[in-house]
Structure 1
């Protein structure tokens, strides 16, 4: 039985809109009493996907934000079921010995990026902003890239660089195993989508908005034109000041995960200057595309975030009429743990392969798509670019599923055209992400 959910804080002290069942589930998981279970998994116990919120999904200290990721702990993922269908051999449940989630090839196929990933991205830098230090970041990334046949991306060849929020390469934050998982996830997804890109990892001293925001500014100062952020928290009246202090960077594509707590707005996904990225369930299909997507929802409190901001002004390119302020999301990509992605991580867990879900997956994927599309035009906000291609074949419109209950249908329910959980849809090539 789940414990009684805590009351939602009236201040920004918790930062994440964790609330309700997500917090209760995390408490059970960390206490060793249970796991969150994918609601629509196959009924067989051997194939039921189970997963836990990663340790960074619950803030360590008052005032910190949470990462938006889940790690699969058992059962058969979508990738494993595909392999079983091909070989006739049912694989063992997800573990650390072999990859059990979608690969770079799968993701590029799903989003029409195969050709662009092969030829684009050279000279571009994707910045990954996370909190605390992952001492194994570079070596874990090397393992992931080598396994999947991607070129080496190291400090030695100039492809990879790790710095603190002040730009130091030697004075780094304290290490944290929970955020190390998040860092591995983000680095691997940026690599999967844009293997020719350079990667800059900027580690904030802690997971406060002030430190993470300072890390965003440092990433831009160091020349990154694409900045991925897979964290979030409750909205507050301070958000508009954070907008101007940390996220108002023209000519830079800043992506932010929409959250994993189901329907409801989070910050900084609600910033008017960023591309807020929702999450989907991604499955193979017999369609011409070969893939199909629905809104990611496990329960009313576990799924992609979305909603109408209480504080942030609506950007000029957003034209839905029921929400007079900023609406989340803009676009989306895979996030359901049951259709999750493979990640290699070795710090704080058994070294090996894990499958991850959450909008921590979708945010770096979209940052990678922006990078494949080329350097954003100076003076522009790349968050607008997908809106210029709304309703075209450059985006896969997600039209089914919901992430909870809401008073205005499209705030939480997929529909033809724009909706909150998936925005204008998922990438079909790079066109919608170029100026």
Structure 2
């Protein structure tokens, strides 16, 4: 019998980066978990003995661990101020094995459960929290003056917890330490050692804790989760990159399958857009060109330009509706208005990343049933907890209470941090990463596809996170490296006059000749080996995939090349833009159309697509559903990889052909029906 969590919900917070792909922050409407009866009063839910329970993952904790982790020299210990508030997330012990089995079955075309997931809330209730345990935990904290809220999947509870309450909950003693060389008002607040016993009400019900350690700044009254403060960085603009490697010799403008100026025919573009130029050449591909290139025209023919699709976009700032209206009018893309959800502090002004995302979405699905934009970041109390911010950005779109009770078909996220940075900037990266995986697994079990940009710094994912020379080593972005997301990398394109793909390769603008090569910052699609995520089952045995035990990034790739880029309208002017944060929304919206068409035809809807796409690759992909990309590199800033036959660390499996995928899914459904009737 499946257990049921209490009626609880919430949305989250984040941190960002952009122009091409981003970082991450966000906040949301919080629904408290009902405190429930007094502790221990729930029938059948007596406190569990802490005896032989597995260790709780607190991340990096304790004086010695912190000194080794971040190079802190901690001095002048003192009892921790009991009123300092820690921003804590509690990961709930659920049926993780059952949840993963359910998610795999729902997304396996060979399974009778394929496409048969429930809602996010239903799958969360079934797997993420036994009985009334969340209410018991909430009641314990309520009795200590703390209100907890749940994420939309019931994977976790979170609240602002005074040190005195945290010490009681975790059965430990807190001290605070000055950091040598830091201002005296900045202190590290940490348990003296890793807690070994939780309060009996929590023991066995909480198995991961994020935020048990904090860097507290008395001048702001806030906990700093890492070593930097402030809101998200603005997106980079196309400026000469600092001391790039010399571009490799080419025989002309085009290189590795791509061309840095517009090719094909932008017949749908209004004159002002079509006149966009750079270095004396036309640039910027039009929506119709991109749709034809990826076979999306067939989706329009089958189900219209978005009918029935539900698309969610997470970002940190607003767009200007007049910009989007001008863009839509230019290309004949009038349709569904964007529904804005303010879920925290919003960056001032018009946000480039948000504008990129929405213009790409309406290029593919202008008449979707829903286009929901979740904007904001957590600026409260000087908070800087980068993993938390990304966790909350992923959680917000899963809250169906904000979208008239409907889950999205897809979530598009163009933000992230490199794993190498999170590993040293956030002591709770490991436990919250795992809580996030639980939440994403629940989304997959409900048939929600999450598409995350792989980043724009090639294999050097930490390029803007560390000072040289430590910023060019290999690293991939999280959450693009999470198991239950589809990581979208970048390609270039050369189009034929009918806008079909003539040639394509991995995106790396530094392969072009001047002036194109040095006119960008963020010039190549992210890809490489994860240091944090084990190799998922769907990547095992993929043709071309390198050996190893960790996840490979990306999964698929689409047009991201800044030159020629996508036609883009913002601030009264036409320009061009690119990056994997343009490729991600294009693919997310296209797969949302696939899901909507499937529902309209009575077929199982496409959800988390990775298992299906990797299965096709292992079977040789005889129908050419995914275009294998064999040219290009992502070594824009030093180390990197080369594209080649099969899977590669530049473009993943390649670029989906949506017309062929639609035909395959229809044929599979027809054969299955014949067998059933047979």
SS in 2 for 1:312: strand
Cα deviation, residue 412, structure 1? 1.7
The match for 1:205 is: 377
The match for 2:395 is: 217
1:149 aligns with 2:327: no
Maintained 8 Å contact 1:414/1:422: yes
Aligned partner of 2:357 among 154, 176, 186: 186
Q: TM-score, normalised by structure 2?
A: 0.47
Segments of 5+ residues of structure 1 without an aligned counterpart are 1-8, 16-22, 49-75, 84-89, 155-159, 166-171
Cα deviation, residue 214, structure 1? 2.0
SS in 2 for 1:216: helix
The match for 1:58 is: none
The match for 1:313 is: 534
Q: Distance in 2 between matches of 1:421 and 1:33?
A: 20
Maintained 8 Å contact 1:113/1:429: yes
1:428 aligns with 2:657: yes
Change in 2 beyond 3 A, CA 1:219/1:430: farther
**Which deviations, in whole Å up to 9, do the C-alpha atoms of 1:384-414 show, x marking residues without a partner?**
2321322421111101111129999xx8211
The match for 1:338 is: 563
Backbone CA RMSD of aligned residues: 4.2
The correspondence of residues 205-284 of structure 1 with structure 2, limited to 5 A, is 205-206=377-378, 208-222=386-400, 223-235=407-419, 236=423, 237-238=429-430, 240-244=433-437, 246-248=439-441, 249-250=443-444, 251-263=447-459, 264-284=475-495
SS in 2 for 1:163: strand
Q: Distance in 2 between matches of 1:140 and 1:35?
A: 35
Aligned partner of 2:277 among 69, 82, 93: 93
Q: Distance in 2 between matches of 1:28 and 1:199?
A: 29
Q: Distance in 2 between matches of 1:176 and 1:371?
A: 30
1:327 aligns with 2:548: no
Q: Distance in 2 between matches of 1:343 and 1:428?
A: 24
1:415 aligns with 2:644: yes
Q: Aligned pairs, how many?
A: 360
Change in 2 beyond 3 A, CA 1:94/1:428: same
Maintained 8 Å contact 1:132/1:206: no
Change in 2 beyond 3 A, CA 1:104/1:35: farther
Maintained 8 Å contact 1:253/1:381: yes
SS in 1 for 2:493: strand
1:387 aligns with 2:618: no
Maintained 8 Å contact 1:100/1:353: no
Maintained 8 Å contact 1:413/1:421: yes
SS in 1 for 2:490: strand
Maintained 8 Å contact 2:506/2:632: yes
Maintained 8 Å contact 1:398/1:425: yes
Cα deviation, residue 194, structure 1? 2.1
Cα deviation, residue 81, structure 1? 8.9
Maintained 8 Å contact 2:487/2:554: yes
Cα deviation, residue 224, structure 1? 1.1
Q: Distance in 2 between matches of 1:127 and 1:313?
A: 28
Q: Distance in 2 between matches of 1:164 and 1:35?
A: 40
The match for 1:115 is: 298
Change in 2 beyond 3 A, CA 1:267/1:339: same
Q: Distance in 2 between matches of 1:257 and 1:289?
A: 24
Higher alpha-carbon deviation: 354-363 or 298-307? 298-307
SS in 2 for 1:162: strand
Q: Distance in 1 between matches of 2:297 and 2:289?
A: 9
Aligned partner of 1:291 among 484, 497, 502: 502
Change in 2 beyond 3 A, CA 1:368/1:328: same
Q: Distance in 2 between matches of 1:323 and 1:407?
A: 22
Q: Distance in 2 between matches of 1:227 and 1:274?
A: 10
Change in 2 beyond 3 A, CA 1:38/1:145: farther
Q: Distance in 2 between matches of 1:245 and 1:367?
A: 21
Maintained 8 Å contact 2:276/2:283: no
Q: Distance in 1 between matches of 2:576 and 2:587?
A: 19
Cα deviation, residue 39, structure 1? 5.1
Maintained 8 Å contact 1:213/1:247: no
Q: Distance in 2 between matches of 1:430 and 1:183?
A: 28
Maintained 8 Å contact 2:457/2:636: no
Q: Distance in 1 between matches of 2:565 and 2:491?
A: 10
Change in 2 beyond 3 A, CA 1:36/1:412: closer
Maintained 8 Å contact 2:508/2:636: no
Q: Distance in 2 between matches of 1:333 and 1:318?
A: 19
The match for 1:174 is: 346
SS in 1 for 2:567: strand
Cα deviation, residue 317, structure 1? 0.8
Change in 2 beyond 3 A, CA 1:287/1:323: farther
SS in 1 for 2:363: helix
Q: Distance in 1 between matches of 2:291 and 2:606?
A: 29
Cα deviation, residue 297, structure 1? 1.1
Maintained 8 Å contact 1:164/1:205: no
Maintained 8 Å contact 1:243/1:273: no
